[in-house]
Amino acid sequence: MFRQALRTFLGPKSVRTVSPEAVTWAYRLLLGREPSPAEVHRHADCADLDHLRRTLFGSREFRTRWRHLCGPSLTGFEPPLEIEDEVDQETLERLLLAVQNTWALLGRTEPHWSVISVENFKQSTFEQNREVFYQSGQENVELFLHLANRNGCFRDGVSEKNILEYGCGVGRITHALAQRFKQVYAYDISAPHLELARQFTSSLGLHNIHFRQISHPLDVGSFPSVDAFYTLIVLQHNPPPIIRLILSNLLKSLVPGGLAFFQLQTFQTGYTFSARDYLRSVEGRREPQIEMHVLPQSRVFDMIYEHNCKVLEVLDDPFTGYAAGDLSNTFLIQKR
C-alpha cells in the first residue's frame, strides 16, 4: 500500500500531470494528514510533480512538523572556493557575448522554459499553463514588497517610485512591477526574450515600461538612477566576473535610501571558475546550456559596503533547490 502511494506521489519522470490523487498522497506522506478539497484544488495548479514537491517541502507546515529533516545545507566546514571574478575589459566582452549567444538561442527556442525550467512551460504546453507562469511573478513581487514593509522601507508606498529589473526575460515579473511602480526599466541580454516581454505587457495595457537590451559591458555601466532594483534567478546564470559587473553597477544606480532586492547562488561544493578555462569550453558550443555560477557571500558584502549600502536581510532561498552543499541567498539592501 505504502509503495503504491509512493509511486503515485513520486511518479516516473515522464509524468507531468498533477492529479487530485497525487495531491492527496503528497499530503498523507509529507504532512501526515488528509488535504481539504480546497487544498486539492489549489495544488492542482502546480506545473508538475516537482513543483508540488517543492511547494510542500517549503511549506511552514512541513518545516514545523519535520524540522529535523530541514537542516542547513552547509556545515561551515566546507573549503574555500577558487573563483576568478575580476578580469580585463576584453575578457568581459567575450564572457558577455557567450552569455548573450546562449540566451538569444534559448529565447528563440524555449523562452518560457528558460525562465522557469519546468516541463509545463515548454512551448508545446505553455498556453495551457500561461496563467500559472505569470501569476508566479506576482507572488515574487509580493515577497519583495513584504520584506520592504517589514524593514520600514517605502512607507509612502511605491506608486511614485522607479524600479530597474535586470533580467526581465519574457515579462514574468515585469508586469507585476509595472502594476505597482511608476516606471520600470527592464533590461535583458536576449532580444527574443525582450520582444515577448514587450508583446505580453503591451497586451495588458502597461505603458510605463522601458525595455533595454544589454549587448556590451558598457551598457551595464549606463543604468539610470532608480529608487529600487530587482533581479531574481538571473545573476547565477552569468560567470562570476559578469555577476560582479552587473551587481556593482546596479548598486551604484540606487538613489540614497533606495532598495536592492537580488538573489544569487553563493556556494556550491566543488565549484571553481577560471575565465580562460571557461571561454575555452564554451566558445564554439552549439547547444545552449543553462549554467549555474557562484559568487561567495564575502565578495557580495564587499560590494555592498563599497557602494555605501547596508544589509537589511539575507534569506536562504529555494531558487537553486535545497541540495546539501549548495546555498542560494536573497538579499535586501539599502543605500545609506
One digit per residue, pLDDT tens: the chain, 336 residues?
A: 444 444 444 444 434 468 899 999 999 998 888 999 989 988 887 878 888 888 888 787 887 777 666 677 888 999 999 999 999 999 999 999 999 999 999 999 999 999 998 888 999 999 999 999 999 999 999 999 999 999 999 999 999 999 999 999 999 999 999 999 999 999 999 999 999 999 999 999 999 999 999 999 999 999 999 999 999 999 999 999 999 999 999 999 999 999 999 999 999 999 999 999 999 999 777 788 899 999 999 999 999 999 999 999 999 988 887 677 899 999 999 999
Q: Is 167 exposed, middle or buried (0-12, 13-18, 19+ CB in 10 A)?
A: buried
Classified as helix, coil or strand, 188 is strand
The total number of residues shown for the chain amounts to 336
Q: Do 170 and 85 contact (CB within 8 A), yes or no? A: no
Cα 42 to Cα 247: distance, rounded to the nearest angstrom: 37
Whole-model pTM: value is 0.82
Q: Which of the four CATH numbers 3.40.50.300, 3.40.50.150, 3.40.50.10860, 3.30.2270.10 does domain 89-335 have?
A: 3.40.50.150
- Collapsing DSSP states into helix, strand and coil, what is residue 189? coil
Q: Are 248 and 302 in contact (CB under 8 A)?
A: no
Cell 520584506 sits on residue: 147
Indicate the domain borders of the chain. 2-69, 89-335
> Which residues sit opposite 333 in a β-bridge?
260, 311
Q: What is the pLDDT of residue 55?
A: 86
pLDDT digits (tens, 9 = 90+) for 30-72: 888 899 998 998 888 787 888 888 888 878 788 777 766 667 7
SS3 content of the chain, % helix, strand, coil (to 5): 45, 20, 35
pLDDT of residue 68: 62
Q: What is the pLDDT of residue 211?
A: 98
